[in-house]
Structure 1
Amino acid sequence: MISFNYETNFELPYEQEFSSWISKVISSENCKEGEINYIFCDDDYLLDINQKYLNHDTLTDIISFDYSVGKELHGDIYISVDRVKENAKDFEVDFKDEIRRVMVHGVLHYCGYKDKSKEDKELMRSKEDHYIKQGS
């Protein structure tokens, strides 16, 4: 089950469409959907989590906590709407596409994809682009 939670003034339009899209991504990756919670927040909220749990003192667009069991995906995905808006502006892309990129990025981590090495980042970006096209 995919759920959407809000710790800021933002509300994701068409939640059901986003939920169906993420479900399709999960099944396309041969994984099973468990409980996945998206928490949309602002920079301050996510910075606090970053400092408390990861000992990082930087702004970020996403932090995901993976509680998956094998191929059954479970987790909490925190997204800073402030960062997504800023990134969309910086990369000159539509906000809707950037929010999709961040949302699918978290799920792809749960599916086993990494983004530390150059090769891993390229594969992750390729997967993101593929699924963004499917969700548009």
Structure 2
Amino acid sequence: MTLDITLEDTRWQQVHLEALVTQVVALTLQHFDIDVEACEVSVLACDDQRIAELNNEFRDKPGATNVLSWPAEDLAAELPGGIPESPEPDFTGEIALGDIAISFDTCAREAMDAGKVMDDHIRHLIVHGVLHLLGYDHIRDPDATLMENVEVEILGKMGVDNPYVEKEALDTGRNG
């Protein structure tokens, strides 16, 4: 697997982002039986200011977000809730999947606000970003349901709790 990781914000070094990205991208691709060694992914690890610029430039949306993705190829299913196409290698045998940007500020804030472990939240956002590269989306409700279910399945393989279940609900369930 070719990973091009650019650390624009040095705070990403404290969470060992390269190791997390390598693990998560590989496990996500393996989930779909995609040849991990043939794939190429670029990751920009930045801050809120940079991701806000990218969000505005590419999505016409003001402000920061947690993760953005730019798929190299449109693999999205035509029908709502449909399974996206599998990526195919080019003539060299490589599979260029695309680019992901992730913001330290938003990621850290969301993890703290939700009472989540930062590494687990990073794993979730990287899985989310890779799924976008693979044609998954959450604009239409059936697509969002499919994407969330796949995220939960992949994260479960890493020992990460369902990110869509509220922490209070889990605590109540354990104590009640």
Partner of 2:29: 26
CA contact (8 A) 1:50 1:56 kept: yes
Q: What is the TM-score with the length of structure 2 in the denominator?
A: 0.68
Larger radius of gyration: 2
Partner of 1:101: 124
**2:56 alignment partner, SS class:** helix
Could you tell me which runs of 5 or more consecutive residues in structure 1 were left unpaired when the two chains were aligned: none
Q: What is the TM-score with the length of structure 1 in the denominator?
A: 0.86
Question: Which structure has more strand as a fraction of its residues?
Answer: 1
Q: 1:82 to 1:14 in 2, by over 3 A?
A: closer
Could you tell me which runs of 5 or more consecutive residues in structure 2 were left unpaired when the two chains were aligned: 75-85, 88-94, 160-176
State the Cα distance separating 1:114 from its structure 2 match: 1.3
State the alpha-carbon separation in 2 of the partners of residues 64 and 98 from structure 1. Answer: 17
State the alpha-carbon separation in 1 of the partners of residues 8 and 58 from structure 2. Answer: 18
1:7 partnered with 2:5: no
Partner of 2:102: 79
CA deviations on 1:5-27 (whole Å, 9 max, x unpaired) are 21102224173464144123213
1:51 partnered with 2:56: yes
CA deviations on 1:107-129 (whole Å, 9 max, x unpaired) are 11122211112232222222222
CA contact (8 A) 1:32 1:73 kept: no
Instruction: After superposing the two structures, state which structure 1 stretch, 97-106 or 48-57, moved more.
Output: 48-57
State the Cα distance separating 1:60 from its structure 2 match: 0.6
State the Cα distance separating 1:73 from its structure 2 match: 4.3
State the Cα distance separating 1:98 from its structure 2 match: 0.7
Aligned pair count? 136
Partner of 1:60: 65
Partner of 2:139: 116
CA deviations on 1:74-119 (whole Å, 9 max, x unpaired) are 2110001111111112222111111001001011112221111223
**1:104 alignment partner, SS class:** helix
Partner of 1:38: 43
CA contact (8 A) 2:24 2:127 kept: no
